Every structure is written in C-alpha cells, then in structure tokens.
Amino acid sequence: MNNISIINMEKITEGNIRKESDKAFFEKEDNPLKKTDKSNLQIFFGEPEVFVKDVSGKLTNNSDSNLFVAGEDENLSIRIMSSSVISIAKQSQESKNKFYCFNFIDSNSDLSNYTDELFTILNVESKIVRNSELKDVLTTIKGEIETRMSGIDSNHSKIFLAIYSFQRAYIFRKKDYESSDEGKLLEFILKEGSLTGVFCLLNVDSIKNFGKNLSNSFLDEFSLRIISQMNPDSSATIIGNSKGAELGTNRAYFYDYNQNTSINFIPYEIPNLNWVAQLQGKSSTLS
C-alpha cells in the first residue's frame, strides 16, 4: 500500500476550489450517467474539490471488486451509498441485474425510510431483505455463486448486495470469536462473488464495528474504499494512511486499492426521490 498516486488537484488548479457540492447528486446538465460506457460498470460518488470530472470507480469481474464505505457521519455514508446504487441501477435498466437491500439503519431515522423508498422506485428488480429472510436470501445467493463457478451457465446477470449501517447488523455478530451462520455466508459471497458477477456495497461507521461482525481480513475483499472523518488508526487500517483524521465535514476520500490511486471529494447530496424516478424512467429530460 506504498507509493499511492494521490491526485492533488489543489496544486493543479489553484484557486478553483469548491466549498460545497454544486448540485444534489447528478441534478445538472452534464449528468455523467449519460456518458457511461456500458461495457464497464461505473459508479459515481461525488464531485472533486476542484472543477474536474466527477469522482467514480468501476466494478469488474475480478476478485475483491466490492465497495466499502466507512465513517462516523452516517448521513454522509448513506449519501455515498445511495449515489452508488442509483448509478448502478441506471446502467442496469436494459439488463436483468438484481439488487438486494439490507437496511440496518435506525428504524426511527428518516434515512431508513428514504432507503426503502429508493429501492421501490428503481427501475430494476430489487428486494428489501428483512432479518427473518436474511439467512435464506444469503443461502440462495451463495448457491447462485456456486452454480456460476461450476460454469453451467456463463450468461448471467449481475447481482448487487447493498448493506447499509453494518454496525447495527447484530444478526451477523460473531460468537466466541467465531462467525455466525449469516457471517459465514457473507464471507463466502465476498470472497467468491465478484468473480461471478455478484458484488457487495457495504457501509459501516468504523473498522472496529466491522470486526465485530466479520474478520478484519475481509477488508481485503473490497478494492474500492471510501472513508470520511475517523480516527487515524482506523484510517490507516482501511486506506494505509491517516487521511481520514484530516478530512473536514462534508468531505470524503476515495481509494482504489487495485489502481493505487486516491482523491478527496465532496459526496453528492441525497437526491429528491421524484428526480430519481425520472432518471430511472424513459424520459431523457432531468429536472
């Protein structure tokens, strides 16, 4: 994790620094989703601190191609998760790709309601997974990965697991240092899934709470990593340096482990659901 290529746009474009995000999500004329290459699944996270192209990463059918979002500001993490989900859903409309939403956000939070409503309006097949269904759903996904690994059917759609607020996913808690049944299923999916077109997007508040549910070694299964404010030790564990302790409010840091690149950025705001519905529909004009 040495010699990380850091894109220091402040020096390249001195004096042209953003203070806040210009628009909520992609609600602007130069919507980057209009220019995506469908041969590569590109997910958008936010705007850089200077006026260059939007910050994004790519999910590929390689080992460890999953997204990890961590930080103490839950609102900011959910903004990043939501923009990622919308990015993928928009690019999945002409396919049979499927989403599973695992929503562990505090049920008293408006963000929990927003997340559930978001998945109901995405123009792709999706399922909001309740705790009572969780083990059966993960077992089904594991079985699908095993089928794909056998090579029986090479023409398969992509599957995405969006796991929100993993720190509250008590059903995954390890017992006597051993992973729960649900944890073992998720571990298999993380290790083998992306090679067969099954990807995880997971958000958690800290690496400590991630370790309560899964071994920290499973961080290696996430090549795309985003952090917001956190203590230096957690930051170092996730991205190899203490940048997380230096971030201000409304700022995040994207690190691509495989490409060895990183950049500071401003996460998109949570978009209005009416706008999302319009984006997901057949209308080409965005308001």
Residue 92 lies in a domain: yes
Tell me the per-residue pLDDT of 17-68, one tens digit each, with 9 for 90 and over. Answer: 445 554 555 555 556 665 555 556 789 898 877 656 788 999 988 889 999 9
Q: Give residue 199's identity as a one-letter amino acid code.
A: F
Q: Is the pLDDT assigned to residue 286 strictly greater than 60?
A: no
Residue 37 lies in a domain: no
Residue 151 lies in a domain: yes
Residue identified by tokens 């409010």 is 249
Measured CA to CA in angstroms, residue 188 lies from 123, 132, 162, 195, 245 at distances of: 28, 20, 16, 12, 32
Residue 146 lies in a domain: yes
- Quote the mean pLDDT of the chain: 84
Measured CA to CA in angstroms, residue 27 lies from 209, 239, 265, 268, 273 at distances of: 34, 30, 17, 10, 12
Q: What is the pLDDT of residue 272?
A: 85
Task: Provide DSSP, 57-86.
Answer: EEE-SSTT--EEEE-S-HHHHHHHHHHHHH
Q: What is the CATH number of the domain that holds 187?
A: 3.40.50.300
Give residue 235's Cα distance to chain centre: 17
- Domain residues for the domain of 265 are 61-280
Q: Is the pLDDT assigned to residue 182 strictly greater than 90?
A: yes
Mean pLDDT over 266-282 rounds to 83
Residue 102 lies in a domain: yes
> What is the pTM for the complete model shown?
0.86
Instruction: Look at the chain and count its residues.
Output: 287
Among 131, 128, 109, 125, which Cα is nearest to 117's?
128
Here the tokens at position 193 are 């899934």
Q: What is the pLDDT of residue 165?
A: 97
Among 261, 262, 211, which Cα is nearest to 237's?
211
Q: What is the pLDDT of residue 3?
A: 38
Residue 24 lies in a domain: no
Q: Is the pLDDT assigned to residue 287 strictly greater than 60?
A: no
If one counts the domains in the chain, the total is: 1
What is the number of helices (H) and of strands (E) in the chain? 8, 11
Residue 14 lies in a domain: no
